[in-house]
Copies of this chain bind each other. A is one copy, B any other.
Amino acid sequence: MSSLDLKWKVLFSVSVIVNFTCIVLVILHSETTHLSWTRKTATEAEKVASISCSGHGRAYLDGLVLREDGKPICECNACFTGPDCSLFKPSCAVDVDSGNPMFLEPFWKQNAGSSGVMVAGWHRMGYEFEDGSLISKQLESVIHKLHETVGNANTSNKYIVFGVGSTQLLNAAVYALSHHNSNSSPTKVVASAPYYPVYKSQTELLDSKKYKFSGDTSSWKNKTRSSRTNFIEFVTCPNNPDGHLNKAVLQGKFARHVYDLAYYWPHYTAIPSPMDEDLMLFTLSKLTGHAGSRFGWAIVKDKDVYERMVEYIDLNTYGIPRETQLRALKLLNVVLQGDRREIFRFAHTIMKTRWEKLAEMLSTSKRFSMEQLPSQHCAFSKQVRPTSPAFAWLKCEAEEDEECHNVLREANIIGRKGAVFGVENRYVRLSVVNSRDDFDLLLQRLQDLVSKHLSIVDAVMSL
């Protein structure tokens, strides 16, 4: 064999090896990547997710399409603008009126691979699930597991009802609990001020003969035993707006309670022990941050009350959209994956840091104050923990600052005034759960306000 011959032989052998590897790669690749009907949809979703909005916004599949390339536009965080949200609007007001739980968005971006859900065109088209009910048994069982893991509610031997947000369940509960009222006078619906305003507005909406919103619980405290009036008391724990771990005020056989536990998660409070009440409400919004999904659930002890609530949900909306139930299942499975603590660590770390910054900044102020809430032992984290509520409940201390929200509004901070919660406007509620941009801006604006006030005080003192 000539040396030239050997050379060609070697080259050929190398080439055959490359060929072989290459073919194996093609086969392996096509085996693992073989996607048919989902490919287009998946590609579309990745394309939209890859649109850069400078970390101050995001593009959505159903966003407005203005550009020629057919791509949806960036939807920017408040106070950011421009095609890629990179422009800051310096004089813009920061809106912390609503408790929009966007602080959890980065968690879901980090867990993109496990938290997305592909809804097929033919997914659960029918009215009912296979068992004739309107609720997913898989989702129901994950909810039981969730509460067992976190230890915030005892769900054993209790029924679960789903709602379009816990919003829908508030009225479902009032309907169910006022149904057996055989008195001529309507059931009185009460809550301890400051209270979440929807209790009032929703109860008053349809002007029912069966029930009537009757204001602050405290005014009825000593009247429940003597009167034969039925009461429904909303007990919010931790309370929205002030973070207090409220307890029921009204007692006796004419008082029924609805425990709104939207914020009873390790993000916001120590969990000393599981709640074990007759009617407890939870929502996905404040647990995973998916406020837009409108998914809530009630945990109900009494069968009659449960059946009345189901009747309400059936007649009101005929259940909860199936795509929402599918997505909630996926999200809660992510919450329970691994050591089942990841989202709680993530959320608590952010909330703790935000509260440390807020508290430090306000510690120098005489103009604004916040009540110090006590630390408690948390059975979930096995630590003594200070609270880190979803809202700052700020009080303007200066005599002239009766309209605290106006003081803040002048400093470009939009909060929610006390009157909305049934108390004086010296109080204002500020959301601490919004996006990082919103929180940073809130902190900076508050800091400016505090510093300005301090320097005025200093100037006056030095005169």
Interface: A291 (CB within 8 A): yes
Partner of A116, one of B9, B41, B64, B325: B41
Q: How far is the CB of A31 from chain B (nearest CB, A)?
A: 11
Contact B127 A104 (CB under 8 A): no
Q: A206 vs B40: C-alpha distance in the bound complex, in angstroms? A: 46
Q: Given A8-B8, A171-B316, A198-B315, does the pair A42, B35 have CB atoms closer than 8 Å?
A: yes
Q: How far is the CB of A224 from chain B (nearest CB, A)?
A: 23
Partner of A5, one of B2, B122, B175: B2
Contact A58 B206 (CB under 8 A): no
Q: How far is the CB of A197 from chain B (nearest CB, A)?
A: 10
Partner of A63, one of B138, B201, B210: B138
**How many subunits of this chain does the assembly comprise?**
2
Q: How far is the CB of A348 from chain B (nearest CB, A)?
A: 18
Interface: A43 (CB within 8 A): yes
Contact A101 B125 (CB under 8 A): yes
Q: A258 vs B102: C-alpha distance in the bound complex, in angstroms? A: 39
Contact A334 B108 (CB under 8 A): no
Contact B45 A38 (CB under 8 A): yes
Q: A291 vs B5: C-alpha distance in the bound complex, in angstroms? A: 74
Contact B323 A62 (CB under 8 A): no
On chain B, the residues within 8 Å of A292 by CB distance are 123-127, 321-322
On chain B, the residues within 8 Å of A101 by CB distance are 125
- Count of A interface residues, CB-CB < 8 Å: 113
Q: A148 vs B274: C-alpha distance in the bound complex, in angstroms? A: 55
On chain B, the residues within 8 Å of A123 by CB distance are 60-61, 292
Q: How far is the CB of A54 from chain B (nearest CB, A)?
A: 16
Interface: A111 (CB within 8 A): yes
Q: How far is the CB of A64 from chain B (nearest CB, A)?
A: 7
Partner of A125, one of B206, B290, B325: B290
Q: A160 vs B371: C-alpha distance in the bound complex, in angstroms? A: 45
Contact A318 B122 (CB under 8 A): no
Q: A120 vs B112: C-alpha distance in the bound complex, in angstroms? A: 7
Contact A111 B118 (CB under 8 A): no
Q: A39 vs B113: C-alpha distance in the bound complex, in angstroms? A: 8
Contact B209 A207 (CB under 8 A): yes
Given contacts A1-B4, A41-B117, A109-B122, 17 further A-B contacts (CB under 8 A): A22-B23, A35-B39, A37-B46, A37-B112, A40-B113, A44-B118, A108-B125, A119-B323, A121-B331, A125-B290, A165-B318, A167-B318, A206-B208, A208-B208, A294-B321, A321-B321, A324-B324
Q: A residues engaging B (CB < 8 A)?
A: 1-2, 4-5, 8-9, 11-12, 15-16, 18-19, 22-23, 25-26, 29-30, 33, 35-46, 49, 58, 60-65, 75, 98, 100-102, 104-105, 108-109, 111-128, 130, 136-139, 163-165, 167-168, 171, 175, 198, 201-202, 205-210, 285, 289-295, 312, 315-327, 329-331, 334
